[in-house]
Chain A
């Protein structure tokens, strides 16, 4: 057994060693300031590195894989390989297929695991180790908000891909972050008129909501939008995250006097809750003399595939769909299909568009400096990427464009043809003020070049 006594001499020694160790960082900081570049990770050689941070494992791995494929395609097109895709249809013509600002585009990938911590760790390693100048990705709003905050602190640009929560460009908006995808408010605003036409203005809605930030903002948005068309909200029940059995939540719906069920779920949750609702025979019921209906406000192709037959006739909203007929969509679907043998999802489209938008902004700004990029993207109007005329609003870095209202197809012709576009809701109808109560409370801050 050793002694437990610390004598004076050893204490002095430890103290001395500790203070030397604590003092070391001071030397480093002084040097770091003197040596700093104009901005963080300024590309030195003849390549520029982008960081693609998507979920490769976990519940959204499928979406992540689709996004990654789209990113790779975008890099190919930027480097002048393949058929050029949307570079030919993009309204801005500064991208020539010779990389960005003459530098060849290289990329690194990381796995977010759909966890904020892991996503930040992987983004940090891209910034610190690989010298990534821009981070893009995300398949969950929590992760997107977390990584956006990190990029703001570190001083690189974050181009958000799949994130639908109002918070990303609401109370968590950041100057270095940009979102091309639509949000929960837009879903509500686009869906409401279509629902009014289809189901009338005298309906009683029952909400099942995933119990976390995204679920709440979506529920809030849909409730506000449907109440504005005269619907009544009977109840809103929060379901625990990671539930797979919703039967105990669906049974009470039958006796609640509601005639519409709104499922504020995403991914596997939505597949399960919708399937069980259909199995309970909800859609065959007559309540209040009306046919019972189910609504899934946010759709994705992968969810539609998972839910199979059950989505027939169920309304929802989307950012983009591969069956659109504009030039940008056709060019993108063609090159994606030729490379991977399947049509892209709307997550893939937003990932592809964000990469091109970043490249274009750098080209127009003539620099990779995040502040230059921010200036180039703020208030920018463009077209030809598949969503029609689009505007990047300066006040909150949210894209404004048409929103699609879709419905599960009654007679799908193949496994990808599951959703049909019912209406393209014009941009003016889904616009809102930056200080709208659902988005209030955040502070964009100023751009951070990181050095």
Chain B
């Protein structure tokens, strides 16, 4: 199907189904129950899942295939957002030109930075990209304030020209009249599900980008990128110049990041400089490693995992904990709340850090490896021990030294 082999096709179908039914899957708890706190099926978070999924898929094309660890990918996300908001300011609120321009700008910016940074590999490459990203952040935050609106973030004002804005068009981002904000809530018994236009735009983009990434992984080009990761010296001796390939991979992943940035701005028309900070670059590295670098689905899972923690765990406060344990005797209740409180609310970083540690120590291949191990246990039960879920082409072992 679609030029994919059976295995990839089934993976792709699973992703499509997951993406399209996310509003149901992410709201498993009834709206009024105390577990509703863990529901993630509201528009903003679903959009973020899809957008950061795109970002991580793109990052994985560079890091997972070539092994080049870029620590500055947030810069491309940031310029993508700025490009999109400028399109809103100059043309109109239709997201199509905005997203197209953000991909182009992300790609061009990646070409520039990649051309310089890829002269080095390993840690030097990482440091160069980090330096460029921090430079972009500092420029956006203060020096380039006329273009980026500095600390406040670039936003659309009513006195902006908007040359193509017609009188009856919505004054918030839309795709040919469908506003990204429009949401239909469907109540189903005690459950409530939100279907949001913006989410479906992001989800369709993510599906397309996921498909593109499968094709890149399975193409001769993807093979060359893997060769770079495995042994660049040998490749040089064979007479192949790896630089055009790495640069192409860098630009492609820059365009993915630009697209993600453009979509972020399309869902919420404000571009803040913090998007380009090194913490944001580090986040996408975490997402990819947490999910499983070099695997197809891993980065998307990792992105979802981190965004879930950031948005759900950070909102559990003392009050909520007390509600949960209200059935216990007072002393015990207070005790449990005291124990748990440092790990939720403002302590969500701590929980995430612990989980990241556990994953890196026990599942070096990320969440995907966890999935495979569970899969293997089930297969053993079916008494087919000879069928190993090993497939070196699909799941390349990480090289001992990163990048």
A167 partner residues in chain B, CB cutoff 8 A: 152
B160 to chain A, nearest CB (A): 11
Minimal beta-carbon separation of B66 from chain A (angstroms): 18
Q: Which of B145, B175, B215 contacts A213 (CB 8 A)?
A: B145
Chain A residue contacts of B227, Cβ below 8 A: none
Q: How many residues of A contact B (CB 8 A)?
A: 63
- State the CA gap A388–B373 with chains docked (Å): 67
* CA–CA, A122 and B150, complex, Å: 21
Task: Compute how far the CA of A86 lies from the CA of B196 in the bound complex, rounded to whole angstroms.
Answer: 42
- Pick the contact of A142: B20, B153, B220 (CB < 8 A): B153
B interface residues (Cβ-Cβ under 8 A, vs A): 1-5, 8, 20, 39, 42-45, 48, 138, 141-142, 145, 149-153, 155, 157-159, 172, 175, 178-179, 181-185, 194-197, 200-201, 203-204, 207-208, 215, 218-220, 223, 268-270, 272, 274-275, 277, 310-311, 314-315, 317, 319, 345-346, 348-349
Closest beta carbon of chain B to A133's beta carbon, Å? 16
Across the two chains, which residue of chain B brings its CB closest to A120?
B268
Q: Is the CB of B142 within 8 A of A141?
A: no
- What residues of B have a CB within 8 angstroms of the CB of A4 in the complex? 3, 215, 219
The yes or no answer to A211 lying at the interface (CB within 8 A) is yes
* Complex contact B44–A124 (CB within 8 A): yes
Cβ A129 vs Cβ B42 within 8 A: yes
Find out whether the CB atom of B152 lies under 8 angstroms from the CB atom of A116.
yes
A13 neighbours in B (Cβ, 8 Å): 2
- B194 near A110 with CB under 8 A, answer no
B204→A111 contact, CB < 8 A: no
**Which residues of A have CB within 8 Å of B175?**
25
Task: Sample 21 A-B pairs with CB under 8 A, ordered by A number.
Answer: A1-B218, A2-B4, A2-B219, A4-B215, A27-B184, A29-B182, A32-B185, A61-B346, A110-B314, A115-B272, A116-B151, A116-B153, A117-B272, A125-B42, A128-B43, A129-B39, A141-B152, A142-B153, A150-B268, A213-B145, A214-B151
Minimal Cβ-Cβ distance residue in A for B219: A4
Q: Counting CB contacts under 8 A, is A21 at the interface?
A: yes
Ranked nearest first, the 6 interchain pairs of A and B with the lowest CB-CB distance are A25-B197, A116-B272, A56-B346, A28-B184, A142-B151, A124-B44
Q: Which residue of A lies closest to B204 (CB)?
A: A21
CB A217 to nearest CB in B, in angstroms, measures 11
Cβ contacts under 8 Å, B269 to chain A = 153
Which DSSP category, helix, strand, loop or mixed, fits chain A's interface? helix
A410: interface (CB < 8 Å): no
A12 CA / B44 CA spacing, docked (Å): 32
Residues of A with C-beta under 8 A to B196: 28
A445 in contact with B172 (CB, 8 Å): no
Complex alpha-carbon distance, A46 and B397, angstroms: 57
CB-CB < 8 A to A442: which residues of B?
157
Q: In whole angstroms, how far apart are the Cα atoms of A25 and B59 in the complex?
A: 29
Q: Is A238 engaged at the interface, CB distance under 8 Å to the other chain?
A: yes
Q: How far is the CB of B273 from chain A (nearest CB, A)?
A: 8
Contact present for B195 and A28 (CB under 8 Å): yes
A10, B277: Cα distance in complex, Å: 41
Report chain A residues within 8 Å CB of B183.
Answer: 28, 32, 128
Task: State whether the Cβ of A194 lies closer than 8 Å to any Cβ in chain B.
Answer: no
Asked if B150 contacts A213 (CB within 8 A), the reply is yes
- Tell whether A240 is near chain B: CB-to-CB under 8 Å: yes
